[in-house]
Amino acid sequence: MKHLFLTFIAFFMAVNLFSQPLMPQSVMVEMRDTKEIAVDIYLPDTENPRPTILIQTPYNKFWYRYNLPIGVMTDLENSPYNFVVADWRGFYASASAAVASYDRGLDGYDLIDWIVEQDWSDGQVGTWGASALGKIQFQTARHQHPNHVCAVPLVASPEFLYQSYYANGVYRTEYVEQLDNLGYGLSTILLANPHYNATWQFIEDQNYYPGEIQIPCLMIGGWYDHATDEMLKYFEAICTESPIGVAEQHRILMGPWAHGGFGSTQVGTQMQGELEFPEAEGWSDAKASDFFQFYLLGADIDWLGQNPKYHYFQMGDMEWKGTMVWPPEGLTSKKYYLNDSQNLTESLPVSGDSHSTIVYDPRDPSPTVGSCTLTEELGQGPYDQSPVVESRDDILIFTSEVLTEPVKHCGMPKVKLFVSSDALDTDFAVRLCDVYPDERSMILRDNIFRMRFRDGFTINDTAFMDEGVIYEIEIELANTCHTFLPGHRIRLDVTSSNYPRFNNNMNDGGDMYVAGDTIIATNQIFHEISHASFLELQVDNTTNTEIKEKEMQLYIFPNVVSNGSVVYFNDEVQSYKIIDINGRIIFEENNICKSFRIDNLYPGLYFVKVLSKSGGSDLKLIVTD
Q: Which of 133-142, 454-463, 604-613 has the lowest mean pLDDT?
A: 604-613
- State pTM to two decimals: 0.86
State the Cα–Cα distance between residues 498 and 398, nearest whole angstrom. 17
Give the pLDDT of residue 545: 40
Q: 310-345 as b/e, with b when 16 or more CB fall inside 10 Å? A: bbbbbbbbeebbeeeebbbeebeeebbbbbeeebbb
Asked if residues 29 and 115 have their Cβ atoms less than 8 Å apart, the reply is: no
The dihedral region occupied by 309, where left means phi > 0, alpha psi between -120 and 50, and beta the remainder, is alpha
Average confidence (pLDDT) over 372-396: 96
Q: Report residue 341's pLDDT band, with 50, 70 and 90 as the boundaries.
A: very high
pLDDT tens, 540-593? Answer: 986 444 434 444 467 776 667 778 877 777 678 888 999 887 778 888 888 888
Question: Could you tell me the residue ranges of all domains in the chain?
Answer: 1-154, 331-540, 552-624
User: Taking the CA atoms of the chain, what radius of gyration do you get in angstroms?
Assistant: 25
State the Cα–Cα distance between residues 624 and 601, nearest whole angstrom. 9
Q: What is the mean pLDDT of the chain?
A: 92
Asked if residues 123 and 147 have their Cβ atoms less than 8 Å apart, the reply is: yes
210: pLDDT strictly greater than 90: yes
Q: Which fold has domain 552-624?
A: Immunoglobulin-like (2.60.40)
Give the pLDDT of residue 558: 67
For residue 281, give the 3-state DSSP assignment.
coil
State the Cα–Cα distance between residues 531 and 349, nearest whole angstrom. 9
**Read out DSSP for 69-106?**
TTTTBT-GGG-SSEEEEEEPTTSGGGGGG--SS--HHH
Q: Is 499 exposed, middle or buried (0-12, 13-18, 19+ CB in 10 A)?
A: buried
pLDDT tens, 36-53? Answer: 999 999 999 999 999 999
State the Cα–Cα distance between residues 230 and 357, nearest whole angstrom. 34
User: What number does CATH give the domain 331-540?
Assistant: 2.60.120.260
Average confidence (pLDDT) over 232-246: 97
CA distances from 471 to 115, 426, 462, 466 (A): 59, 12, 14, 10
State the Cα–Cα distance between residues 365 and 448, nearest whole angstrom. 13
Strand partners, 222: 255
- Write 260-266 long-range contacts (CB < 8 A, 24+): 260/130, 260/131, 260/155, 260/380, 261/7, 261/10, 261/11, 261/131, 261/374, 261/380, 262/6, 262/7, 262/10, 262/11, 262/376, 262/380, 263/10, 263/14, 263/376, 263/380, 264/14, 265/380, 265/381, 266/14
**Read out DSSP for 501-552?**
TSPPP-SSSS-TTS------EEEEEEEETTEE-EEEEEEE---HHHHHHHHT
Residues near 244 by beta carbon (within 8 Å), at least 6 away in sequence? none
State the Cα–Cα distance between residues 37 and 112, nearest whole angstrom. 12
351: pLDDT strictly greater than 80: yes
For residue 591, give the 3-state DSSP assignment.
coil
pLDDT tens, 124-172? Answer: 999 999 999 999 999 999 999 999 999 999 999 999 999 999 999 999 9
CA distances from 410 to 296, 345, 414, 461 (A): 34, 20, 12, 33
Closest CA relative to residue 383, chosen from 446, 315, 318, 441:
441
Please give the distance of CA 412 from its chain centroid, rounded to a whole number: 15
Count of other CB atoms within 10 angstroms of residue 168: 21
State the Cα–Cα distance between residues 428 and 498, nearest whole angstrom. 9
Strand 407-411 and strand 480-484: pairing?
antiparallel
Q: Is 550 exposed, middle or buried (0-12, 13-18, 19+ CB in 10 A)?
A: exposed
Strand partners, 320: 313
Q: Which fold has domain 1-154?
A: Rossmann fold (3.40.50)
16: pLDDT strictly greater than 70: no
Q: Report residue 606's pLDDT band, with 50, 70 and 90 as the boundaries.
A: confident
